[in-house]
């Protein structure tokens, strides 16, 4: 294998989307359905049926036979009202929490909310269960970002291990004996789901060259949307089954995880940057065979070409710097440049994010963006089935509108940069949600209700597009061995928003206009903050922090040069204008 390899060029020579890449991407993308089912299953397994106090069998127990002539009982949602008419003409009313338990409009075993009586005084426990799932996702994001896991031992280990664990945990949820065991398993499931999602996004992105990354991201969104939408017909067909049977049916999607280790390959980019050249060569030879391409032709024609992202794979490799790049790095970086002239595998930790000003600035903006997108997306999604009307239809429409986001994102990615797309989607979502809030608050007619729903769906579509875009945008801002750390930390901040999202409906009951207003305001703030990020479209993934710094400094130098040209042009125009004025006098 040649001493220097440009990984993007290798994938181009093998065929951007050859048979090998397509199969590997499908193996990765199908895990998205497992993640979607695991996260969203509670919409149907834990739906809230209509509830009322159960009838009291021994009503005479409450009758004071000595003095009471009549006793009437009124069964309410969370209490029973006893009205007693005494012989002396007085009337006494007593209200007590449901003494005989609860009665539901569906069999208790069809919803975990009914089976565990998570209603009335315990009504908030259903939201707590979903909140703990999000908290678990935050833990999973942190663990997945730890250098001792994915960036240290590889993407494949975490991907397959998390998937198998999700399968086992999902089966376990179907047999929980009580609420406590349920929330523990939901917490673990959330952690596993996030590890699966974070590593899967990185694994897919590292399987294609730069110009194909946006296609992978859109396909990832397409699979996620399909998973969200598929949940509806599966739940509908099993609407007369128990929630435990539905849980098992959804979990079976993950059963192929038991053989996934033998059919999924490790990231070639990760193998090369970590010096595992023999394994990388084996995978590339396999890819060449599958794609009917001559392996020797691929390798021999792809020596270093001056790209800022050449990957050093042998100990005698020399990092190539142009004269311009040497000047940009400056004399204080001689140590870094000299170390790059030998094979050095750089390992980073979470602390590395806080030591580099470029990475820290980008990270802080992305953390807020992820938190906002998670809060808005899950706040709108989880509330969909609780809206008036058919819960299956409402959830289906909320999921189906994400296909529009797939279509728009795909065509925008071909023409516009990641930063611009993120801004456009957030401004659209903020505007639509603000209009929906105003229309819903001031309008009471049926047409106004429909208009509010339409704008809410537009907001959901836009936030879906932005959420998908930052899954591509975020890892492009980090070097290879810090990429999982960056994705994991961003995703951990997203869980802060996700943990609050189940309570958006509760807040709306108290202050109807507040959730939509908060969502819109945060989206507007994100749109402004993202403008400070660098554009990554057309840039190969950086391999080291030095390459990332070089990229930032180049962009800064280019911006200063452009500003200087604008000022010079303006100055010349001013001189010409003054000269013309003087001549006219």
Is pLDDT at 245 greater than 90 in this prediction?
A: yes
Q: pLDDT tens-digit profile of 414-471?
A: 888 889 999 999 999 999 999 988 887 776 777 787 888 889 889 999 999 998 889 8
The angle that helices 545-584 and 357-384 make with each other, rounded to 10 degrees, is 100
> SS3 of 64, please?
coil
CA 112 to chain centre: 26
Q: pLDDT tens-digit profile of 50-109?
A: 888 888 877 665 655 555 567 777 888 888 887 777 666 677 788 888 888 888 888 989
> SS3 of 5, please?
strand
Element holding 449 (H helix, E strand): helix 446-473
Q: What is the pLDDT of residue 183?
A: 92
Q: 82 — phi, psi (to 5°)?
A: -100, 125
> SS3 of 157, please?
helix
Average pLDDT over the chain reads: 79
CA 525 to chain centre: 19
Give the dihedral sign, CA 477/481/484/489: negative
Tokens for 243, please give them.
Answer: 């929630």
d(CA 535, CA 547): 15
Average pLDDT over residues 537-566: 68
CA 262 to chain centre: 27
| pTM, two decimal places | 0.74
Domains defined for the chain, CATH in brackets: 4-48+110-271+347-530 (1.20.1250.20), 51-105 (no CATH)
d(CA 157, CA 92): 68
Q: What angle do CA 171, 42, 426 make, to 5 degrees?
A: 125
Q: pLDDT tens-digit profile of 325-372?
A: 444 444 344 444 444 444 455 666 677 778 878 888 889 999 999 999
Closest-CA residue to 218 (of 206, 233, 205):
205
Strands 79-86 and 91-97, by their bridges, are: antiparallel
* Total Cβ atoms within 10 A of residue 532: 11
Q: What is the pLDDT of residue 151?
A: 64
Is pLDDT at 24 greater than 70 in this prediction?
A: yes
CA 274 to chain centre: 27
Average pLDDT over residues 278-293: 89
Q: What percent of the chain has pLDDT over 90?
A: 22
Q: pLDDT tens-digit profile of 519-533?
A: 999 999 999 999 988
Average pLDDT over residues 284-290: 90
> SS3 of 92, please?
strand
More confident residue, 499 or 585: 499
More confident residue, 319 or 183: 183
Average pLDDT over residues 10-16: 84
What does the buried/exposed string (b/e) look like for 492-514 if buried means 16 or more CB atoms within 10 Å of the residue's CB? Answer: bbbbbbbbbbbbbeeebeeeeee
Q: What is the pLDDT of residue 173?
A: 93
Q: 61 — phi, psi (to 5°)?
A: -60, -30
Tokens for 387, please give them.
Answer: 């809206």
Q: What is the pLDDT of residue 6?
A: 76
Identify the weakest region by mean pLDDT among 155-164, 215-224, 291-300.
291-300
């Amino acid at each position: 294998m040649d001493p220097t390899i440009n990984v993007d060029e290798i994938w181009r020579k093998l065929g951007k989307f050859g048979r090998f890449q397509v199969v590997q991407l499908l193996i990765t993308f199908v895990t998205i359905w497992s993640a979607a089912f695991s996260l969203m299953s509670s919409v149907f397994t834990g739906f809230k049926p209509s509830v009322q106090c159960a009838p009291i069998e021994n009503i005479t127990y409450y009758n004071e036979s000595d003095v009471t002539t009549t006793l009437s009982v009124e069964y309410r949602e969370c209490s029973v009202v006893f009205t007693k008419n005494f012989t002396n003409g007085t009337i006494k009313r007593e209200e007590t929490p449901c003494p005989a338990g609860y009665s539901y409009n569906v069999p208790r075993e069809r919803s975990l909310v009914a089976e565990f009586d998570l209603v009335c005084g315990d009504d908030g426990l259903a939201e707590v269960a979903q909140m703990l799932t999000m908290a678990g996702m935050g833990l999973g994001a942190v663990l997945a970002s730890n250098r001792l896991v994915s960036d240290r031992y590889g993407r494949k280990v975490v991907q397959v291990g998390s998937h198998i664990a999700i399968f086992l945990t999902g089966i376990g949820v179907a047999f929980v004996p009580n609420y406590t065991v349920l929330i523990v398993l939901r917490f673990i499931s959330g952690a596993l789901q996030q590890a699966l999602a974070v590593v899967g996004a990185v694994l897919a992105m590292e399987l294609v060259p730069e110009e194909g990354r946006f296609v992978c991201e859109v396909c990832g969104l397409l699979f996620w949307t399909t998973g969200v939408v598929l949940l509806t017909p599966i739940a509908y067909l099993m609407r007369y089954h128990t929630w435990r049977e539905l849980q098992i049916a959804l979990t079976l999607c993950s059963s192929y995880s038991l053989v996934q280790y033998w059919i999924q390959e490790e990231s070639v980019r990760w193998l090369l940057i970590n010096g595992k050249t023999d394994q990388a060569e084996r995978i590339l030879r396999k890819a060449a065979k599958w794609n009917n391409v001559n392996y020797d032709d691929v390798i021999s024609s792809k020596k270093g070409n001056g790209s800022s992202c050449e990957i050093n794979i042998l100990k005698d490799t020399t990092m190539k710097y142009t004269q311009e790049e040497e000047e940009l790095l400056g004399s204080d970086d001689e140590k870094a440049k000299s170390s790059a002239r030998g094979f050095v595998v750089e390992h980073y930790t979470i602390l590395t994010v806080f030591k580099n000003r470029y990475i820290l600035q980008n990270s802080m903006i992305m953390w807020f963006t992820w938190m906002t997108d998670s809060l808005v997306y899950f706040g709108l999604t989880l509330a969909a089935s609780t809206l008036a009307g058919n819960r299956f239809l409402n959830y289906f429409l909320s999921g189906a509108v994400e296909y529009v986001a797939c279509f728009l994102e795909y065509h925008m990615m071909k023409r516009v940069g990641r930063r611009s797309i993120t801004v456009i989607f957030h401004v659209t979502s903020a505007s639509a949600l603000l209009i929906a809030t105003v229309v819903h608050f001031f309008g009471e007619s049926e047409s106004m209700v429909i208009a509010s729903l339409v704008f809410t769906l537009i907001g959901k579509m836009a936030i879906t597009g932005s959420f998908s875009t930052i899954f591509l945008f975020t890892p492009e801002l980090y070097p290879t061995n810090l990429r999982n750390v960056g994705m994991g930390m961003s995703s951990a901040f997203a869980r802060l928003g996700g943990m609050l999202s189940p309570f958006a409906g509760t807040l709306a009951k108290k202050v109807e206009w507040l959730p939509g207003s908060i969502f819109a305001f945060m989206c507007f703030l994100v749109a402004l903050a993202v403008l400070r990020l660098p554009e990554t479209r057309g840039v190969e993934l950086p391999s080291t922090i030095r390459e990332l710094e070089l990229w930032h400094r180049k962009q800064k130098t280019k911006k200063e040069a452009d500003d200087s040209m604008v000022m010079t042009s303006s100055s010349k125009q001013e001189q010409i204008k003054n000269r013309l004025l003087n001549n006219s006098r």
